Each structure stands twice: as C-alpha cells, then as structure tokens.
Structure 1
Amino acid sequence: MDTSTSSTKIHVSDLRVGMFVSKLDRDWLETPFLVQGFLIERPEDVDTVAQYAEHVWIDAVQSRWVPAEPHATLNPALRPKKTYINKVSAREEHGHALKAFRRARQLTKTLVDDIRLGGTIDTEQAKATVRSCVDSILRNPDALLWMTKIRNEDEYTAEHCLNVCILAIAFGRYLGMSENELEKLGLCGLLHDVGKMRVPLPILNKPGALTPKEFNMIRAHTVHGRNLLLSTPGIFDAVVDVAYTHHERMDGMGYPRKLPQEKISRYSRIIALVDAYDAMTAERCYAPAVPTTQALKNIYQSRGTHFDEKLALEFIKSVGLYPPGTIVQLRNEMVGIVLEVSQQYRHLPKVILVKKGEEPLAQEKVVNLADVEKGHLEKEFLIKRALKDGTYGIRVAEYREKGVVFRAAGL
C-alpha cells in the first residue's frame, strides 16, 4: 500500500486492523517488536500493542487496504526454498560445535597467515572449514552461533572471517537456502576479506584517523581480494564477486565501483549485513564494540540505503533482541548472561544473574524473565539494556568453560 508522510497520534483503544503503526510512546527496544513500524493485520495485534504502549502514531493511508496474507508474503528473493528442523538439541550439539569451532578457528588463522606471507589460498582447507560449520549449523545452529562471541582481540581478522562465515550460514539456513547454497555462502563469508592480507599491517591496525591515502589503501582490499581469488583454482564465481562487492551499497554510494543495487548479488547483500553486524559487536583498534541491540538498531536505520531493506529486516528477526550469550543489565541493576530465549517471550529470556553492578552476587542464580509477564516476578527484573562482552568483567567464554549451555528460541 502507499502511505502519506503524515502521522497521527491515537490511543491504542482506537487502533484498527489496516492501520500502520510508525511510532510508539516508548523505545522500541523495550518491546517485543523487532522493528519500529508495522501493520495491524489482526485484532490480536491490537491487544499485543496495548500491552506495551498507551499511545501510538499511525501513518495516514491514502490507498486501498491490502489483505494481511498477500501483504505478509515474502518477495520471491526471500521466499524459503527449504525448511530445516533441528536434528539435535543445542546441548547435544555443543560438544561437536566446540570441536568444529576450535579446528575452524585454527585453520582460518593458518589460512590468513599464509596469505599474508605471500602464499596462495588453500581452497580445499577453506572448503573443509566451511563444511564443518554447515554440518553443525544444519544439526542445530545455536551451539555454534554463540561461539562467535568468543573473541581474541589480537586475532581480529581471522576470527572476523570465521564469524562472518558462521553467521552467514546460519542466516542462510533461516532464509531456507539449500545446503549447496549454504556452502557457497559460507565460503563467501570466510574469504570476503582476504584482500586485507595485502594491506600493510600498520595501516590495517591504525587506531587513529586514516589519511585519505591510507583510507584508499584500505578500500583497495576489495580489489586485492578479487585478484587473489581470480588466481585461485576451485573457487566459485560468487566468492570472487562477494570479495569485490561486499562494500557496495543499495543507494549506489558504496565502493569500489558505486554499483547500483540491481547489480549487487544476493550473496553480497547478505555478507554486507553479516560483516557489518560482526564488526560492530567486536572490539576493533579504531572503534569500541557496541551491544547487539545497538548493532541491530544501526542496521535497521541503514536499511534501504546501505543494506538491502528486506534482508535487513529478516536478519534482525533472525538474530533477535537478546540472543543467547548476550550480557544484560536489569532495571534492578543486576547483571547476567542470557542463557535461553523462548519462542513465546523472545524479549523475556532466561538469564543467569552473576553481579549487581560491579559487585559479584554471593550466589549466582538463574531467573526466567517470562515470570514477569506471568506475574510471578517484579517488573524490576525487566531488561534495562544490553551490554557488550567484558562489561563489569563478565566474559561469555569463561562461562562456557564452566560448562554453561546457551540455548535459543524453540528449544
């Protein structure tokens, strides 16, 4: 439907099916709505909004009402081709995933080091790394996904390449891509930044502002990546294309060629999203990490200009506000780690509480924030904000070593 640019503030009791809600009277991060701006398609939607807001702003609609079912249907590019089920529980997969992750991390570091020293890309090694990730994610994506939160600041490039590989495969699974497509997409993620191995380390790791010349040298990694991959036997064309175009933008303002959006492949659009998300949530020499919620908000705000709009919205839904492994602070100032997300209450996860501010609790305890909704827990246990890994000295990796298991929705 076409909407006008004007918005009207109304009470939730005046909401009706067919209205488009463009704004709430509270921060969208405090609600279960993953994006701000949605269509009221059913009477039940009104009831849901009423639980979280008293007033809303609606956009005036000047054209005919589009029925809910056609409106909600994904466009052909996003329509799932394959439906996956979790073959094992996250708990069962954790042991396999940890072994796969450790081996993949070592292989990726070796691959990156070899390229930096002037060697060639070991195609079979790269494909084997991706295959192990695909196998784990097809069994259950959650075990391997949260391991992307385990980082070593001294090995950023290698770990970023592996994380983009894992996140891209998991997102592709969510979109319903075939196993063959997942392997290609994973390889695109693993090798998207190989061109950076041709950028001098002092420039790549410079903490301060780059000069125009240095910035152009960084940008040249897309060309270096294309050239490296073109000379590598056994590499899919899509991998070469992604290395060359993952910094192109939907508004035509990307680099190196300022391509119009119709010339940017679907693989490149996916890797651009995942690349940005992982980079924003990691500590880099020139920029601090941001919490997951802020990274998703940045992606939402850049949809349609920097990122493919429909893929950006799907990516936000796939990640969720508080994925397992997220460090959160509650309204009562208690701090903990998200252990498990339920399908019904995605904004009210199960959390292990470990501190109150800077002070460790006498005894760590697990609380199910969904009990707030059920009236069994005070509202002070609602999440106030998400924090980056390492805040208050809390690191996810240390809790994994203690045997803590993280599980996502639907388990």
Structure 2
Amino acid sequence: MILMPISMCRPGMRLAKKIFSEDGLVLLGEHVEITKRMIVRLAECGIQFVYIQDSRTADITLPELISDETVRVALGEIRSHFRTMMDQPPRKKGVMYPYVGKQFRDVLNRVIDDLVAVKETVIMMMNIGSVDHYLYQHSLNVCVYTTLLGIASGYSRDELMTLGLGALLHDIGKTQVPAGVLKKPGKLTDSEFEEMKKHTEYGFKLLKDEPGIPLIAAHCAYQHHERLNGSGYPRGLRGNEIHEYAKWIGLVDSYDAMTTSRIYRRPMLPHQAVESLYAGTGTLYEQEMVRLFRDKVAIYPLGMTVRMNTGESGVVVGITPLCPHRPVVRILADSDGIPLKSPYEVDLSTQLNAMIVSTNDVQTAPPLLSIM
C-alpha cells in the first residue's frame, strides 16, 4: 500500500485502509474502488492523504496502534462533546455541560488497552484517515502519541490515565475561542493571536471542577504552551514550575502541529520538525524527552511516498528500531519519474549520503514562527 495525496488519486484506484466520517463511522471501507466524485468529495471534506492498494508494495502491513473501534468511539466522543461546548457556554464556575469525565475516561481506557497490547518497539505515527475537524483529529493524535511515550517511560496505569486525559483535552479551551479566530484561513493579527492564546486559560477553567477529570489534567490544558526558559504562555513558567505531563504534551503538540498541513501554511517535513525540537532542547523542551521521542518514534510511517536527494522516488517499507528516523525506502521511479522495472531498497540508516527531501507532495517548508 501507498500513502498518497488525494490530489494524486485517480478513479479506479482501491483504498487500502478505511476512511472515517466526522462521527467516527466508517465512510469508505477497505478495497473500495474510488470514483472521481469520491475523490472530489474527500478533498472537499479535508482529507489530504489516503492509503491506496499497490502491487509493488503489497507486502507492507501497517501495525495498528489503536483499533478501528477505538478510533470510532474516540472521534465520536471528541466531536460530540467539543461541538456541544462550541455551541453553548459552559456552566458557572467553569464546569462543562454536560459532564464528560466518565465518557473520556472510558475512551482513555480503550486507548490504553490497545496501546499496551502493541508489541512494536517503535512508535509508528498514524494516519487516522478521517473526514474531520482539525481540532478533533489533533486531539486524538496527541493523546495516542503522548500516552505511548508515557508507556515507554514506565508510567503506571493511573499515571497514564491522567497523562492521556490531559493530552486528549489539552486543546479543549479552543472550543471557547471565537470561530472567526479559530477557523481563520490566514495569519492571525496580534489581537487575534492574543485571543487564541487564551485557549489555555479557557481549558483550565473548563476542566478544573469537572467530575472525573484529575486536576493535573486541567493543568496540562493550562500549561502545554509553557516552555523551560519562560518564553511560553499564559504564565511564563520555567523549568520545574511546569508539570512533567504538560512538558510531554507540549512536545508532542508542537510536533503534530508542525507536521500537519493547514490552510494558511505548508507543513514541515518530519525530520525538519524533529530538528526543530532538537533546536529547542534545554530551552523549550527537556533533553531526555526529545531524545526518547527521537529514539521511539518512526517519523516516516510505512507506505509514505518520498523523494530522495537523487531525484528518485519511492515508498517507506521498513523501520530500523535503532534509527527510526532513517527508514528503509523502496525506490520505484527514477529522477524523471519513470517507473523502474526492478525496484530496489535503500536503508537510510546505513547509507548516510541518501536523504529524503520531500514526502508525498510536501516539499521542504520554512520554519514555523509560532505553534498555537
């Protein structure tokens, strides 16, 4: 299978993975032959990439971090409750209506059960493939990756529950940001950015009195944009003034935001985003946290189409556990785009002169000045 930009899909191709609706339901199943109308509709709904069946990469199998059922339940709960909070004001004293503690704890129990059963030593970044609001998918992404890093750090079940809830709900305050600011397709003005920054305070107020939500999870919503050197917001906290869980969430939140395509900017390539995290080691992010992220996370998922510095193009077909950011690439076409009669593989962990310069249709992007 190949992870292909929707812009490159053609009628007659067959899906290799399910696509979910914004309610978490299966919109299109595996093996479905896509039509021109489907492609147009998926693009209109915000789907940027889909997994397509391909005989040259039929041997690729993707490890599932969380089951389709867990994805369905999680996206359904996130969308339902976030939409409710967008459509009506919170109760007095910041308590949300309706109460959501039990529902989100149930979601986290599902997520944790799935993740602890994963036998892979490397965390594979997932492509949920959902027709959905950026906020909903981002919340689930950050939850899954942060919880996995918590597992790798040896956290207990109770600690994972608190960390996971903090990650799942870290951006819940954005439900209280005016829609014109939250969904603005261009760069925010200074006053709009100040309003956007208030989502951390809104999130804390929403969560701090919520039954079933640990107070630490509320502080994660409050602190996930704080940075070690005091340059973050809303309080300019430094070092150990920031809770350990909020540091994890801030790290993963930054990576997911940097590598996600938005209307108003191109994404960074995965290795660029990791380099950006490393550039902030000791000033923005904890060194050991960045190191564990680098050592445990495969930033180029299996099936991703890439272009090499030689001009050749291919697909990621393997991950080296000791060097997950330097994958094995199967070269399928030469520098002129002509398919090779005999594809061959390049192990980037051993051939250090070989480099990925673009993924799918994403070229090298300039650094991001701010991550919201």
TM-score where L is the length of structure 2? 0.70
Q: CA deviation at 1:370?
A: 3.7
Q: 1:104 to 1:354 in 2, by over 3 A?
A: farther
In the aligned structure 2, how far is the partner of 1:143 from the partner of 1:205? Answer: 37
Secondary structure of residue in 2 paired with 1:226: helix
Indicate whether 1:315 and 2:293 are aligned: yes
Q: Give distance in 2, aligned partners of 1:196 and 1:91.
A: 36
Change (3 A) 1:149 1:390: farther
Quick one: distance in 2 between partners of 1:261 and 1:372? 34
Please give the alpha-carbon distance, in whole angstroms, between the structure 2 residues aligned to 1:372 and 1:258: 39
Q: Check whether the contact 1:299–1:307 (CA below 8 A) recurs between aligned residues.
A: yes
Per-residue deviation at 1:234? 1.1
**Alpha carbons 1:94, 1:144 under 8 Å: kept:** no
Distance 1:363 1:99 in 2: 40
Instruction: Say whether 1:184 aligns with 2:162.
Output: yes
Q: Distance in 2 between matches of 1:145 and 1:111?
A: 28
Distance between the aligned counterparts of 2:176 and 2:225, measured in 1? Answer: 17
Q: Report the counterpart of residue 75 of structure 2 in structure 1.
A: 105
Q: Secondary structure at the match of 2:64?
A: helix
Q: State how far apart, in whole Å, the 2-side matches of 1:157 and 1:95 are.
A: 20
Higher-RCO chain (CA-CA 8 Å, sequence separation at least 6): 2
What are the within-5 Å matches in structure 2 for residues 220-369 of structure 1?
Answer: 220-320=198-298, 322-343=300-321, 346=324, 349-356=327-334, 359=337, 361=339, 367-369=344-346
Report the TM-score when normalising by structure 1.
0.64
1:390: how far off? 4.7
Superposition pairs of residues 360-379 of structure 1, within 5 angstroms: 361=339, 367-370=344-347, 373=350
- Cα separation, partners in 2 of 1:355 and 1:169, compared to 1, 3 Å: farther
Give me the whole-angstrom Cα distance separating, in 2, the residues matched to 1:335 and 1:311. 33
1:99 maps to a residue whose letter is: E
Say which structure is richer in helix: 1
Identity across matched positions, percent:
29
Tell me how far 1:350 sits from its aligned partner: 3.3
Q: Tell me, yes or no, if the aligned pair for 2:329 and 2:347 is still in contact at 8 Å.
A: no
Corresponding position: 1:194 with 2:172: yes
Change in Cα spacing, 1:212 to 1:133, as seen in structure 2 (3 Å) is same
Partner of 2:87: 117
Does the CA-based 8 Å contact 2:314-2:330 persist in structure 1?
yes
For the aligned residues, what is the CA RMSD? Answer: 3.2
Q: Is the 8 A contact 1:349 1:368 kept in 2?
A: no
Q: What per-residue deviation string (whole Å, max 9, x for no partner) do you get for residues 343-369 of structure 1? A: 35656533344554684737795x443
Q: 1:180 to 1:338 in 2, by over 3 A?
A: farther
* Secondary structure of 1:206 counterpart: coil
| CA–CA distance in structure 1, aligned partners of residues 361 and 119 of structure 2 | 24
Q: In structure 2, what is the equivalent of residue 208 of structure 1? A: 186
Amino acid at match of 1:369: V
Deviation at 1:283, TM superposition (A): 1.0
CA shift for structure 1 position 254: 1.1
Query: In structure 2, what is the Cα distance between the partners aligned to 1:159 and 1:141?
Result: 24
* Displacement of 1:190: 0.4
My pick for the range that moved more, 229-238 or 109-118, is 109-118
Structure 1, unpaired ranges of 5+: 1-89, 374-378, 393-411
Partners of 1:316 and 1:391 lie apart in 2 by 21
Cα distance in 1 for partners of 2:337, 2:316 equals: 19
**Unpaired runs of 5+ in structure 2?**
1-59, 89-96, 364-372
Instruction: State the secondary structure of the residue aligned to 1:369.
Output: strand
The one-letter amino acid of 1:283's match is S
- For the structure 1 residues 345 and 234, does the alpha-carbon distance in structure 2 shift closer, same or farther, using more than 3 Å as the test? closer
Q: Distance in 2 between matches of 1:291 and 1:138?
A: 29
Letter of the 2:84 partner, please give it.
D
Deviation track 1:47-71 (CA, whole Å, cap 9, x = no partner) reads xxxxxxxxxxxxxxxxxxxxxxxxx
Structure 2 partner of 1:387: 358
Shift of 1:135: 1.3
